[in-house]
């Protein structure tokens, strides 16, 4: 595949509300982000994916947009947005905007007009159906619980919302809707952004009357049209959020010959710790072998036909060190192990704010501490169904999106340096131990380990181009794989757990990076070794 700038890039996701508050109103903002450019520069990232900063009533923290051309006043102004884009560019960082176009807010001008009358020119911007005797047209469910159809009194019809009731789905079959979206995307492209992260983009081809939501028949036609009408001739990073993708679908999106997207986010690994066919709240332990199978399928089946994204975290997922690492004694070692495992693979890595300092899940104690619409709906639904409060709490602690949304921990001062005001959401009480200032003072911190991984990607072609081969597929404790490129071989080996485990590889190698200090750049015999708790290393094999 032709090399693109985003193949060598590392993306840093910012959830603006929780990143840095510049004016002490308790909500993170654009000027807060601007003040942290030197920090991001130091980490070495090339791209920021900015979660939505558009005008929004915040039913889903900005994933419900009421005006695509305006910045939400709580985040700042369009002038500040332009300054952020410019200042980042000057530091070699591009900004990828969140594109939320499966739905708008019900407070978007289009919807306000559409719901008034069946004759409104905006009526067909959304999806309306009349059900028998006022009941929903069918039993489609919304991702945040309940029916996907909401009754609207003005016209006695239901509109479709695959997420919250305040997030009506746009009607992509309508040419006028697609034109509006292309215009809006071009507006942002002209402002000099580096690309788009496309929210739940695999839903845009839906056929609600047949119960089809994800991967609908027109999905790829629309994406090809989008590519032609907007970014196709521009050198941008485009990444689609696709919960329902397997590698075959992944190739359809990202094979350059098809002219759709640069890459997608797929979530097969993310569903491994839930009971198959059930909800994310229905927990089961992760099996390392399954994780290896999923990653390996994506690594090998995309080879030459598309491009992977690599991520553990985002604003919708629990913190990885709490989820599959150890957020207690081995927090630092396990965070570095997880980073090694992911960043050693082929694809574009994404880091979610706070991951680089090993931020953990929040120790929630009561239902009143949750703010996310998904959590709140789930609590209500499961209480009504008779689940025990303890069971519900266990699921929320493990999986709620609130975990990832606590304020970024900058220092050990009041409110972790996130704000001098009252934060919109409580700071994790572990901020005195886990914070960026402390990480920056400690040469062995998770922060500097990420910095090294990012640097390697800048200088080592093997990370970009090298083939991937899984070793020890049946091993239940070790994740080991080989990258190979132009006569060079890198062995990446990770002990996924805290028990020491024997590992053996016939050969010798030089340590490129390891989370245990003792390993130096000298030649090591890789035969008959013992991997310490969460030990991870990258070795260049002697050939
Ligand atoms: C995506 C976003 C999530 C949002 C949902 C609806 O999954 O990442 O935060 O709630 O889409 O827009
Ligand atoms: Ca603020």
pTM: 0.98
Enumerate residues 6+ apart whose C-beta is below 8 A from 182. Answer: 226, 229, 230
Q: Which residues of 174-199 are buried (b: 16+ CB within 10 A; e: fewer)?
A: beebbebbbebbeebbeeebbbbbbb
For ligand 1, the distance from its centroid to the CA atom of residue 44, given in whole angstroms, is 27
Predicted local confidence at residue 519, as pLDDT: 58
Task: Convert the pLDDT of each residue in 75-122 to its tens digit.
Answer: 999 999 999 999 999 999 999 999 999 999 999 999 999 999 999 999
CATH fold group of domain 109-160:
Oligo-1,6-glucosidase; domain 2 (3.90.400)
> Which ligand ends up closest to the CA of 162?
1
Predicted local confidence at residue 520, as pLDDT: 62
Predicted local confidence at residue 423, as pLDDT: 98
Task: Convert the pLDDT of each residue in 489-524 to its tens digit.
Answer: 999 999 999 999 999 999 999 999 999 986 566 788
Predicted local confidence at residue 543, as pLDDT: 86
* DSSP helix, strand, coil percent of the chain (3-state; round to 5): 35, 20, 45
Predicted local confidence at residue 524, as pLDDT: 85
For ligand 2, the distance from its centroid to the CA atom of residue 359, given in whole angstroms, is 22
Q: Indicate which residue's Cα is closest to atom 9 of ligand 1.
A: 316
Contact 477, 525 (CB under 8 A): no
Predicted local confidence at residue 101, as pLDDT: 98
Predicted local confidence at residue 247, as pLDDT: 98
> Which ligand ends up closest to the CA of 29?
2
Using CA atoms, how far apart are residues 424 and 426, in angstroms rounded to an integer? 7
Q: Indicate which residue's Cα is closest to atom 2 of ligand 1.
A: 199
**What is the rounded average pLDDT for all residues in the chain?**
97
DSSP sequence for 464-498: HH-EEEEE-TT-SSEEEEEEEETTEEEEEEEE-SS
Using CA atoms, how far apart are residues 20 and 344, in angstroms rounded to an integer? 30
Predicted local confidence at residue 398, as pLDDT: 98
Looking from the CA of residue 102, the nearest atom of ligand 1 is: 12
CATH fold group of domain 466-541:
Immunoglobulin-like (2.60.40)
Contact 419, 17 (CB under 8 A): no
For residue 292, the SS3 value is helix
**Residues lining ligand 1, judged by CB closer than 6 Å?**
60, 63, 100, 163, 199-200, 241, 315-316
Looking from the CA of residue 103, the nearest atom of ligand 1 is: 12
> Which ligand ends up closest to the CA of 61?
1
Using CA atoms, how far apart are residues 33 and 52, in angstroms rounded to an integer? 13
Q: Indicate which residue's Cα is closest to atom 4 of ligand 1.
A: 63
Q: Indicate which residue's Cα is closest to atom 12 of ligand 1.
A: 63
Predicted local confidence at residue 454, as pLDDT: 98
What would the CATH number be for the domain defined by 5-104+175-449? Answer: 3.20.20.80
Task: Convert the pLDDT of each residue in 183-236 to its tens digit.
Answer: 999 999 999 999 999 999 999 999 999 999 999 999 999 999 999 999 999 999
Looking from the CA of residue 100, the nearest atom of ligand 1 is: 12
Predicted local confidence at residue 504, as pLDDT: 96
For residue 218, the SS3 value is coil
Task: Convert the pLDDT of each residue in 477-492 to its tens digit.
Answer: 999 999 999 999 999 9
Show the low-confidence residues of the chain (pLDDT under 70). 518-521
Predicted local confidence at residue 89, as pLDDT: 98
For ligand 2, the distance from its centroid to the CA atom of residue 74, given in whole angstroms, is 6
Contact 52, 100 (CB under 8 A): yes
For ligand 2, the distance from its centroid to the CA atom of residue 24, given in whole angstroms, is 6
Predicted local confidence at residue 502, as pLDDT: 97
Looking from the CA of residue 243, the nearest atom of ligand 1 is: 7
Looking from the CA of residue 63, the nearest atom of ligand 1 is: 12
Which secondary structure element, helix H or strand E, spans residue 67, and what is its range? strand 67-71
For ligand 2, the distance from its centroid to the CA atom of residue 75, given in whole angstroms, is 6
> Which ligand ends up closest to the CA of 311?
1
Residues forming the active site: 199, 241
Q: Pick from 199, 214, 311 the residue to mutate for probing ligand 1's pocket: most ligand atoms within 8 Å of its CB.
A: 199
For ligand 2, the distance from its centroid to the CA atom of residue 66, given in whole angstroms, is 20
- Domain positions in the chain: 5-104+175-449, 109-160, 466-541
Q: How would you classify the pairing of strands 195-198 and 47-50?
A: unpaired
Q: Indicate which residue's Cα is closest to atom 7 of ligand 1.
A: 200
Tokens of 80: 């500040």
Predicted local confidence at residue 518, as pLDDT: 67
Handedness of CA 152, 156, 161, 162 (dihedral sign): positive
Contact 52, 159 (CB under 8 A): no
For ligand 1, the distance from its centroid to the CA atom of residue 374, given in whole angstroms, is 10
């Amino acid at each position: 595949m032709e090399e693109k700038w985003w193949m060598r890039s590392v993306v840093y996701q910012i959830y603006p509300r929780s990143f840095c508050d510049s004016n002490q109103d308790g909500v993170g903002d654009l000027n807060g982000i601007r003040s942290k450019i030197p920090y991001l520069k130091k980490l070495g990232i090339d791209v920021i994916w900015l979660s939505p900063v558009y005008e929004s009533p915040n039913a889903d923290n900005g994933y419900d947009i009421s005006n695509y051309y305006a910045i939400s006043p709580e985040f700042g102004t369009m002038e500040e947005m332009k300054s952020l884009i410019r200042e980042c560019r000057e530091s070699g960082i591009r900004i990828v905007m969140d594109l939320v176009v499966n739905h708008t807010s019900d407070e978007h001008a289009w919807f306000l007009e559409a719901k008034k009358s069946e004759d409104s020119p905006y009526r067909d911007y959304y999806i309306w159906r009349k059900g028998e005797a006022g009941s929903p047209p069918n039993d489609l469910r919304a991702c945040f619980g309940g029916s996907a159809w909401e009754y609207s009194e003005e016209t006695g019809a239901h509109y479709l919302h695959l997420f919250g009731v305040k997030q009506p789905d746009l009607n992509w079959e309508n040419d006028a809707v697609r034109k509006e979206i292309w215009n809006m995307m071009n507006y942002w492209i002209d402002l000099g952004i580096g690309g788009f992260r496309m929210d739940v983009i695999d839903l845009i081809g839906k056929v609600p009357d047949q119960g089809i939501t994800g991967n609908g028949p027109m999905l790829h036609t629309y994406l090809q049209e989008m590519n032609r009408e907007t970014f196709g001739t521009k050198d941008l990073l485009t990444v689609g959020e696709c919960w329902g993708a397997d590698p075959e679908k992944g190739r359809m999106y990202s094979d350059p010959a098809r002219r759709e997207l640069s890459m997608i986010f797929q979530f097969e690994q993310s569903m491994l710790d839930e009971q198959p066919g059930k909800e994310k709240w229905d927990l089961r332990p992760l099996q390392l072998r399954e994780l290896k199978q999923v990653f390996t399928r994506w690594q090998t089946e995309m080879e030459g036909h598309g491009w992977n994204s690599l991520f553990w975290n985002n604003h919708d997922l629990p913190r990885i060190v709490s989820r599959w690492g150890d957020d207690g004694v081995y927090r630092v070692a396990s965070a570095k192990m997880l980073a090694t495992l992911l960043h050693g693979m082929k694809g574009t890595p994404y880091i979610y704010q706070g991951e680089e300092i090993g931020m953990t899940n929040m120790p929630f104690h009561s239902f009143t501490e949750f703010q996310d619409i998904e959590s709140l709906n789930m609590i209500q639904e499961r209480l009504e169904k008779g689940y025990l409060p303890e069971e519900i709490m266990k699921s929320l602690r493990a999986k709620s999106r609130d975990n990832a949304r606590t304020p970024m921990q900058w220092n050990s001062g009041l409110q972790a340096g996130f704000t001098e005001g009252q934060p919109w959401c409580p700071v994790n009480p572990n901020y005195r131990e886990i914070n960026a200032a402390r990480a920056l003072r400690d040469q062995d911190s998770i922060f500097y380990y990420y910095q090294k991984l990012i640097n390697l990607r800048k200088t080592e072609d093997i990370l970009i181009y090298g083939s991937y081969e899984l070793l020890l597929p049946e091993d239940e404790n070790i994740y080991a794989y080989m990258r190979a490129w132009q006569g060079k071989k890198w062995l990446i080996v990770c002990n996924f757990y805290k028990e020491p485990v024997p590992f053996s590889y016939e050969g010798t190698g030089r340590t490129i990076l390891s989370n245990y200090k003792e390993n130096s750049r000298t030649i090591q015999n890789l035969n008959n070794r013992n991997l310490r708790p969460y030990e991870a290393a990258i070795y260049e094999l002697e050939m």
